[in-house]
């Protein structure tokens, strides 16, 4: 009896497992070891320093914004979704002669009080996969053989509508938001070598594919700013996985994105480089050598030498809303580590008077923490699907204001 009681007590009193993960560097501590004193110093000194460090040591430095960008509307369907929406196909051209254009699909709700807030995100397999519309143009650029309907690394009709679950357009429209999406390969095809896409047109830049995608998202923001039907002060940049890494970089580097939603973005995005769960810096640099710059590979064996971790990239988004969204079975993307990353971005949000992450520990599954720094984890696997969009939409409503409603 006594032995049993002791055993029960031992069970209750068992110490919590030690947190063996390395602490993440404080984003407010400058390279010279001193702590940022106030907002002014954050904005004028530390923020630019961090941006430069991420460019130098990880993503590479993208070119300046082009001064010759044009957005040509090549097709309009004002009766899309039974008249609920207008669909536009926009060709975004920019840069030195020969730079491939970005084919942007833009779908805008027709029933609205003013310009619509918009989600902006890159897709993996072409605009024609994202919607079932038989008229949407096929990308002509290189595409991985694994994408739906691809033959000889080119899109075919067989891919049409094959990724409609990733982009639940009607739900987005019904909630009052527009959606702008483009094929990531229009900017930089996802293969090593940087021989096509934007890279050869901007020689002398050691920038990886993730930086190029992020820069492309900014070109979409340029184009959206020219469209009177879109409220370009309310752009929420979104992306899944490698394209979530790009969404976070775009949001961190380009303050025009009013909300930032990297979904299951993992290593090189929302997960800590110092983390020991899921994908490592060495693995990502080995399997995807083109995603980051050469300097990042020098941290393969000891990421703790990095002068930052991904919480500092999250901190660059401050004071704007930022949601990390995850799935229980997607341990490769280290959902727990991502929670720690958000927590460790809080000092910058606090300094900016922007609130933080209203949760002391990981929330229950399917519970959206919708504070300025937001977090959610749902059951299931690595994918972007309609239930994820309900969280994205709720987070946007909460943090940007419901479309059409006074805040």
Residue in 36, 143, 284, 384 binding ligand GCU, rule: CB under 6 A: 284
Q: Which residues pair with 86 in a beta bridge?
A: 108
Separation between Cα atoms, residue 355 and residue 96, nearest integer Å: 42
C-beta of 190: minimal distance to ligand GCU in Å?
9
Q: Segment 331-360, which members bind ligand GCU (CB under 6 A)?
A: 332
Q: Rule CB under 6 A: is residue 241 a binding residue for ligand GCU?
A: yes
Cβ(276)–Cβ(338) below 8 Å: no
> Which C-beta is closer to ligand GCU: that of 128 or that of 240?
240
Burial of 4 (0-12, 13-18, 19+ CB in 10 A): exposed
> Which C-beta is closer to ligand GCU: that of 108 or that of 384?
384
Separation between Cα atoms, residue 387 and residue 328, nearest integer Å: 14
- φ/ψ bin of 194: left (φ > 0), alpha (ψ from -120 to 50), beta (otherwise): left
Residue in 279, 336, 346, 388 binding ligand GCU, rule: CB under 6 A: 279
Torsion of CA 295, 301, 303, 306, to 10 degrees: -40
Cβ(368)–Cβ(391) below 8 Å: yes
With CB atoms as reference, the residue minimizing the distance to ligand GCU is: 241
C-beta of 288: minimal distance to ligand GCU in Å?
7
C-beta of 260: minimal distance to ligand GCU in Å?
16
C-beta of 285: minimal distance to ligand GCU in Å?
11
> Which C-beta is closer to ligand GCU: that of 327 or that of 369?
327
Residue in 108, 188, 198, 267 binding ligand GCU, rule: CB under 6 A: 267
Q: What DSSP designation does 363 have? A: P
Q: Rule CB under 6 A: is residue 266 a binding residue for ligand GCU?
A: yes
Q: Rule CB under 6 A: is residue 303 a binding residue for ligand GCU?
A: no
Percent helix / strand / coil, the chain, rounded to 5: 35, 20, 45
* Interacting residues with ligand GCU (CB under 6 A): 241-242, 266-267, 279, 284, 332
């Amino acid at each position: 009896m006594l032995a049993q009681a002791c055993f029960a007590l031992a069970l209750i009193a068992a110490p919590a497992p030690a947190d063996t993960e390395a602490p993440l560097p404080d984003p407010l501590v400058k390279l010279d070891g001193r702590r940022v004193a106030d907002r002014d110093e954050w904005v004028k000194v530390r923020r630019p320093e961090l941006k430069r460090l991420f460019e130098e040591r990880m993503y590479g430095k993208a070119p300046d914004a082009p001064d010759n960008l044009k957005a040509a509307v090549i097709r309009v369907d004002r009766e899309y979704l039974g008249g609920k929406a207008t669909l536009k196909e926009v060709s975004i051209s920019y840069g030195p002669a020969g730079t491939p254009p970005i084919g942007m699909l833009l779908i805008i709700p027709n029933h609205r009080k003013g310009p619509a807030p918009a989600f902006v995100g890159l897709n993996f397999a072409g605009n024609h996969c994202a919607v079932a519309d038989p008229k949407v143009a096929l990308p002509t650029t290189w595409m991985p053989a694994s994408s739906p309907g691809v033959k000889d690394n080119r899109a075919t009709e067989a891919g049409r509508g094959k990724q409609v679950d990733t982009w639940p357009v009607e739900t987005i429209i019904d909630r009052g938001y527009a959606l702008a999406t483009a094929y990531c390969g229009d900017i930089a095809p996802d293969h090593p070598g940087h021989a096509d896409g934007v890279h050869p047109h901007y020689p002398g830049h050691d920038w990886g594919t993730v930086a190029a995608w992020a820069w492309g998202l900014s070109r979409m923001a340029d184009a959206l700013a020219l469209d009177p039907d879109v409220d370009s002060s309310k752009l929420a940049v979104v992306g899944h996985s490698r394209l979530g890494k790009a969404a976070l970089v775009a949001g961190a580097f380009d303050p025009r994105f009013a909300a930032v939603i990297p979904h299951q973005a993992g290593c090189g995005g929302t997960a800590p480089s110092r983390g020991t769960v899921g994908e490592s810096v060495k693995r990502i640099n080995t399997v995807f050598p083109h995603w980051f710059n050469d300097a990042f590979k020098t941290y393969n064996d000891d990421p703790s030498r990095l002068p930052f971790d991904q919480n500092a990239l999250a901190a660059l988004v401050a004071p704007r809303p930022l949601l990390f969204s995850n799935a229980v079975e997607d341990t490769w993307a280290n959902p727990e580590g991502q929670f720690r990353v958000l927590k460790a971005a809080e000092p910058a949000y606090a300094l900016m008077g922007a609130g933080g992450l209203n949760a002391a520990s990981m929330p229950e599954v399917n519970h959206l923490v919708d504070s300025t720094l937001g977090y959610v984890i749902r059951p299931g696997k690595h994918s972007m699907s309609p239930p994820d969009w309900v969280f994205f939409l709720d987070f946007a409503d909460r943090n940007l204001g419901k479309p059409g409603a006074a805040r």
